[in-house]
A and B are shown apart, each in its own frame.
Chain A
Amino acid sequence: MNTNDILLAVLVLIGAPIIGCIASGIDRKITARLQGRVGPPLLQPYYDVKKLLSKDNMVVNPTQNFYVIVYLVFIVLSLLMLVFKQDFLMIIFVYTVASLALIVGGMSTGSPYARVGSSREIMAILSYEPVLILYALAIYLLTGTFKLTAVLDASSPMLMYTPLIFIAMIVVLNIKLKKSPFDYSTSHHGHQELVKGMTTEYGGPGFATIEIAHFYEYVFLTGLIFLFWASNPIIGVLLGIIAYLLIIVIDNITARVYWQWMLKLSWSVLLIISIVNIAFLYVSGVQLA
């Protein structure tokens, strides 16, 4: 741990929520424009969080806020591990802790809406977790290590060898960001099915924590896309932005599906194409130079 590392960590801790906040604002702006509206100001997510922090801390049971704090700190930890090029498989497991904390947080309120939302989110884990780990496996096969150092130091982009996993990851991004057509556990905006799903019983500071964690999560998830073209950071960032914009567009042009449908999509199409990609990597034995 030298000074540079600490500086980088502080930069990530402060910078990531700002980027995430603006990304969320862009999302709402684009959504509004696609619907022919003017839309809120770009910094609306920031105003929302600020407002939520000034409200009363109303809870069903006091422990429910513990889980969202776990959610926040583990998202931050997984982002930091990504930035510090740690073991990718490990990052996914840490990220799973965060996802589970939110699910358990929703369940812990005991509200029927939150519990239905959480059950559906558990099914979402079933659909995206294998793809994420296969992505980690692809990194291992290409570089011979699960550590991200090799991917980030490589001179050629990973996307060349993992196009199918990239497609699968776009869908995973869609599921993880809880965007339509996979926004059935909880949704942003004014969609009110299941009230607010997992987050029904969260208000005020507790909900603000979830929102802040979402800002970090935006950066983390686009970071996963960035890895596909990490050899050239500019193209990598562009790739992340394009993926994010694509998700917003998909969000606006699709209707919600059943969770069963998502499970079928994931275990038939996404898993198969990921495994085909992995099989190709095994057979060809290519290495990321």
Chain B
Amino acid sequence: MSLAKSPWIIHVNVNSCNGCDIEVVACLTPLYDAERFGVLNIGTPKQADIMVVTGSVNYKNVNVLKNIYNQIPDPKVVLAVGACASTGGIFHDCYNVVGGVDQVIPVDAYVPGCCPRPEAILDGVVAALSILENKKKGNIKGKEVKLKGKEVPSNA
């Protein structure tokens, strides 16, 4: 149970409209107080356990997402927060959008909604905890996601 009692999250915004970000930050406010569960919003991937991703992935930040994912030590889980992160949302067929987060890195839990309520996000974090424990028990490592080189369109 060592992991479940102290989940530290890193919040990654890939092309989000900031709606979900505000809700993620709201989780830390006195009203919801995610720290009750030991949740800390940590700045560096090196110390994080749960990667909270908001927004749909576009070509410019796909490498950013992969880099940060690769820099989180195992065991780790990815939580896609919001409709965009889950599926691409209303941006899914934009010219510059790759799609949901699961198109790029393996996602363990989804929190739907536009925007999801803080309760829903906390629920997602709590759901991620058991996955985290299972990964530790099964010694399941996140695969190193390879960067494809120039993900950026050539005209950029």
Q: Contact residues of B with A, CB < 8 Å?
A: 2-3, 5-6, 8, 28, 30, 33, 35-38, 40-49, 71, 73-75, 136
Contact = CB atoms under 8 A, between A and B. Distances in A.
Contacts of A195: 43-44
Nearest to B40: A190
Given A50-B5, A51-B49, 5 more contacts: A37-B33, A48-B8, A58-B73, A190-B42, A203-B45
Nearest to A35: B30
Contacts of A216: none
A41 interface: yes
The 3 closest A-B pairs by CB, nearest first: A203-B46, A192-B43, A56-B73
Given A32-B35, A56-B73, A200 B2 contact: no
A207 interface: yes
A41 B6 CA distance: 10
A47 B73 contact: no
A202 B46 contact: yes
B44 A201 contact: yes
A272 B31 CA distance: 45
Contact of A40 (B35, B47, B74, B136): B35
A130 interface: no
A86 interface: no
Contacts of B6: 44, 47-48, 50-51
A39 interface: yes
A202 B42 CA distance: 12
Contacts of A39: 33, 35-36
B46 A37 contact: no
B73 A203 contact: yes
Contact of A190 (B3, B28, B36, B46): B28
B2 A58 contact: no
Contacts of B47: 52, 196, 199, 202-204, 207
Interface in A22-47: 28, 32, 35-41, 44, 47
A35 B40 CA distance: 15
Given A37-B30, A44-B6, A202-B47, A55 B73 contact: yes
A196 B42 CA distance: 8
Interface string A171-204: 0000000000000000001101001100111111
A48 to B, nearest CB: 5
Contacts of B74: 55-56
A200 B42 CA distance: 10
Contacts of A207: 46-47
Contacts of B30: 35-37
Most buried by A among B41, B43, B47: B47
B38 A41 contact: yes
Nearest to A39: B35
Contacts of A44: 5-6, 38
11 contacts: A28-B35, A37-B30, A44-B5, A47-B5, A50-B2, A51-B3, A51-B5, A54-B2, A200-B44, A201-B44, A203-B47
Contacts of A38: 33, 36
A48 B44 contact: no
Nearest to A205: B73
A32 B38 CA distance: 12
Nearest to B11: A192
B33 A204 contact: no
A57 interface: yes
B32 to A, nearest CB: 9
Nearest to B2: A50
B40 to A, nearest CB: 6
Contacts of B43: 190, 192, 195-196, 200
Most buried by B among A50, A56, A190, A199: A190
A40 B73 contact: no
A196 B44 contact: yes
